[in-house]
Structure 1
Amino acid sequence: MNLRELSERLKLSQTTVSRALNGYPEVNEATRKRVADAAAFYHYRPNVLAQTLATGRSMSIGHIIPFSKQNEMVNIVFADFIAGAGEVYSRHGYNMTLSVVRDEDELSAYRGIAEKGVVDGIIVHSPTRNDPRIDFLSDLDIPFLVHGRASEVTTPYSWMDVNNTRAIETGTRHLLDLDHRRIGFINGQERMDFAQRRREGYLAALKSHSILPDPQIMRSGEMSEPFGHASTLEMLDSPEPPTAFVSSSIVPALGIRRALEERSLRMGKDVSILCFDDDISYLPNGLDAPVFTAMRSSVRDAGRRCAEMLLEQISTDAPDIKTELWDAELIIGQSTGPCP
């Protein structure tokens, strides 16, 4: 089916259908949804070459990953984000350009793809507190959006993030309400902005109950199952082991559970676990009922929304800076219970 045929079925002009599919802001949301639903139903795919010639755009979005972070490409959280973004790109006739570069070449790679016009926009991943990429991209005058935030950057920029501080504070308070007072914390790498914010949430919850943080039961590192496992065993061997754990991801939470099983400790009875759950497609938190008590926010939905926000920027001649902050939802599972 071509654009003319789709327009005729919808009884809309080809211009309106094209603008709806490409995210133009003057198309109202009801019409945009009607067109998108019809395009999906009739398996309509835009003619990318025709769009490129007509608009002068490359019809591609850039994602650049430095070598030191290339493990992100096999990380199931990153994969789910890319899958969500890819759904939106495909619907709007866009391709995705994914590049892995040496760390020292990352900024020059951004400059290269911007100057060559090989992408129409860029999504920035895993921002640090004072991320140099944001000022650099602002100077390049290319549409970009940050998945996350860089707390110490003062240049205005568009971003979409989860309220990481509130999420972990809420989760930790849940454990405190269950009378846990020795709560271990297994976090991501704290050079990353999201991990710093999650640490702040954990500390804020402890402070609200006049509990001093104990560095002996706090860890930060790569959010992997082995890291969660090793960190848990170390804390369980401490003079005052935790009765509960807060994990920055469901992935290390699996390692926590394995460590408890090795020590013949019952999850949710002897030791409680609360985690942040990105609602990962290929790692569901239970089927009929949640396994882990968790702060849930879908990273696939985040990928979709980041892509939508960036395409809206690209389709607007003078785009405004737009930001979105999502709250995570507390999901009660089998992994928490009163302090024994």
Structure 2
Amino acid sequence: MPVNLKQLAELLGLSQTTVSRALNGYPEVNAETRQRVLQAVRETGYRPNRAAQRLATGKAYSIGLVMPIAPGIDSDIHFGEFLAGLGEAAIKHDFHFVLNPSAPEDEEATFRRLAASGTVDAVFLAYMRANDPRIAMLKSLSMPFVVHGRSIGGPQDYPFLDIDNTRAFYDAAKLLLQLGHQRIALINGLEYLTFSIRRKKGLMRALEEWGLRLDEALVHHSVMTDEYGYRSMQSFLQQPDPPTAVLCSSTVLALGAVRAINQAGLTIGADISVIAHDDVLPMLKPENFSVPLTTTRSSLRAAGARIATRLIGGILDSGDYPEQELWRAELIVRASTGPAPGR
């Protein structure tokens, strides 16, 4: 049976006030005491009275997020994996989510209503676009926020966590070029999202270093599902001069691309090379493909957990975190990449 505040304080040999202040992130409680209290909370199953805490601190102990919902917007397993990481960190600190669905055109107004409601202490922003106007809007709300991704253009003085998408696809394309590939296709995310823009830029930069140009007929942008990966790869293979290699912005897209390659009777790693970005989706491991996939790897779940930890740390005034983090993706070479045919 969970203990109450009085019992928790007696167990630790501390006053109820000290325990309460440790749980609420007051700076006068030292880090060692705070860790003792948090460990005891985990061991005893103690749950604070949130209504009383809110009255005492003015905090809601909740993180807000807005999810675009509209006909034609497909559910996104990538976002679900990110939320899983966010949730893992929130559970550790007994924080809640407030999830607001919104039509895409009403997203800014939804954020404003969420901030004014008093039901959240901080928000996070995803699906970044070039010159994204939502950043200036969030800065005007005077509420802590962290961006997952980065805008292109506009102000750059905002808190974010992103992976170096340009470098990831530059490294992937460079590997293919070193293997002799010159006709490299790209199955990318939606064209207006900044991670897609940067991944295409990385491919173009590598090609330019080899004195080559990207053939726009070998670039497809879409939502990241296996069906779109399949259709894109089919289209590339039907061209008079098909690619000898393809970069996919997700293992989900790669799943469809591999299906099209297999149906065409081609051998992955010999007739055509495949590299995908691996968000570390638990149900789709690149090493379990029929031909294990070479990938650029960065965990979405880890990103979600990190953003939640940063938001909660800001709310509780605990921890010292960088304002801006740019993670480098890891290039993992497996059997799906080989020399260009004829090499």
Is the shorter-chain TM-score for this pair beyond 0.5, marking a shared fold?
yes
**Relative to structure 2, which stretch is displaced further, 153-162 or 6-15?**
6-15
Q: Deviations over 1:187-212 (max 9, x none)?
A: 11121111111111111111111111
Q: 1:225 to 1:160 in 2, by over 3 A?
A: same
Alignment map for 1:89-100 (pairs within 5 Å): 89-100=90-101
**What is the Cα deviation at residue 49 of structure 1?**
2.5
Confirm or deny: 8 A CA contact 1:186 1:247 kept in the other structure: yes
1:62 to 64, 67, 77: 64
Shift of 1:35: 5.7
For residues 201 and 260 of structure 1, do their structure 2 counterparts lie closer, same or farther at Cα, with a shift above 3 Å needed?
Answer: same
SS at match of 2:223: coil
CA-to-aligned-CA distance 1:273-323 (integer Å, 9 cap, x gap): 001100012322235998211000000000000111111222349x99711
Could you tell me which residue of structure 2 aligns to residue 144 of structure 1? 145
Q: How does 1:20-59 map to 2 (within 5 A)?
A: 39-59=41-61
Q: 1:241-320 maps to which residues of 2 (within 5 A)? A: 241-286=242-287, 291-316=292-317
CA deviation after TM superposition for structure 1 residue 17, in Å: 5.9
Equivalents in 2 of 1:333, 1:159: separation in Å?
31
C-alpha contact 2:122 2:143 (8 A) present in aligned 1: yes
> For the structure 1 residues 236 and 188, does the alpha-carbon distance in structure 2 shift closer, same or farther, using more than 3 Å as the test?
same
What is aligned with 2:171?
170
Distance 1:153 1:66 in 2: 23
In the alignment, the residues of structure 2 paired with residue 245 and residue 328 of structure 1 have an alpha-carbon distance, to the nearest angstrom, of 18
Given that 2:244 and 2:272 are in contact with CA atoms closer than 8 Å, whether structure 1 keeps it comes out as yes
> For the residues of structure 2 that align with 1:63 and 1:338, how far apart are their CA atoms?
45
What CA distance in whole angstroms lies between the structure 1 residues aligned with 2:333 and 2:194? 27
Shift of 1:138: 0.8
Within 5 Å, give how 1:125-136 maps onto structure 2: 125-136=126-137
Distance 2:69 2:291 in 1: 35
Rounded to whole Å, the distance in 1 between the matches of 2:43 and 2:288 is: 29
Question: Contact 1:70 / 1:100 at 8 angstroms: preserved in 2?
Answer: no
Q: Deviations over 1:106-135 (max 9, x none)?
A: 211111121221211111111101111110
Contact 1:24 1:312 in 2 (8 A): no
- Partners of 2:329 and 2:255 in 1: CA distance: 20
Report if aligned partners of 1:23, 1:311 keep a CA contact under 8 Å in 2. no
Is the 8 Å Cα contact of residues 61 and 97 (structure 1) preserved in structure 2?
A: yes
Q: How does 1:227-242 map to 2 (within 5 A)?
A: 227-242=228-243
Distance of 1:165 and 1:33 partners within structure 2 = 39
Deviations 1:226-277 (A, max 9, x none): 1111111111111111111001111110011000111111111211100110
Answer whether contact 2:268 2:291 (CA < 8 A) is retained: no
Q: Which runs of 5+ in 1 are unaligned?
A: none
1:156 aligns with 2:160: no
Q: Pairwise mapping of residues 68-79 of structure 1 onto structure 2 (< 5 A)?
A: 68=70, 71=73, 74-79=75-80
Cα shift readout 1:7-40 (whole Å, capped 9, x = no counterpart): 6666677667666656667878777666655544
1:116 corresponds to 2:114:
no
Mapped to 1, the partners of 2:83 and 2:50 lie a distance apart of 20
Q: Is the 8 A contact 1:159 1:323 kept in 2?
A: yes
Q: 1:147 to 1:270 in 2, by over 3 A?
A: same
TM-score (norm 2): 0.88
AA aligned to 1:66 is: P
How many aligned residue pairs are there?
338
- Percent of counterpart pairs with the same letter? 42
Matches of 2:152 and 2:14, distance apart in 1:
44
Q: CA separation in 1, counterparts of 2:231 and 2:289?
A: 30
Give the Cα–Cα distance (whole angstroms) in 1 for the partners of residues 37 and 272 of structure 2.
51
Question: Quick check: 2:310–2:321 contact (8 Å CA) kept in 1?
Answer: no
State the Cα RMSD in Å.
2.9
Distance 1:174 1:58, change over 3 A: same
Question: What are the superposed Cα offsets for residues 165-223 of structure 1, whole Å, 9 maximum, x if unpaired?
Answer: 10111111111121111111111112111111111111111111111111111111111
8 Å contact 1:46–1:92 — kept in the other structure?
no
**Does the C-alpha gap of structure 1 residues 51 and 228 become closer, same or farther in structure 2, counting only changes over 3 Å?**
same
Single out whichever of 225-234 and 152-161 deviates more from structure 2.
Answer: 152-161
Evaluate the alpha carbon distance shift between residue 251 and residue 267 of structure 1 in structure 2; reply closer, same or farther with a 3 A threshold.
Answer: same
Change in Cα spacing, 1:330 to 1:173, as seen in structure 2 (3 Å) is same
- Are 2:170 and 2:205, in contact at CA under 8 Å, matched by a contact in 1? yes
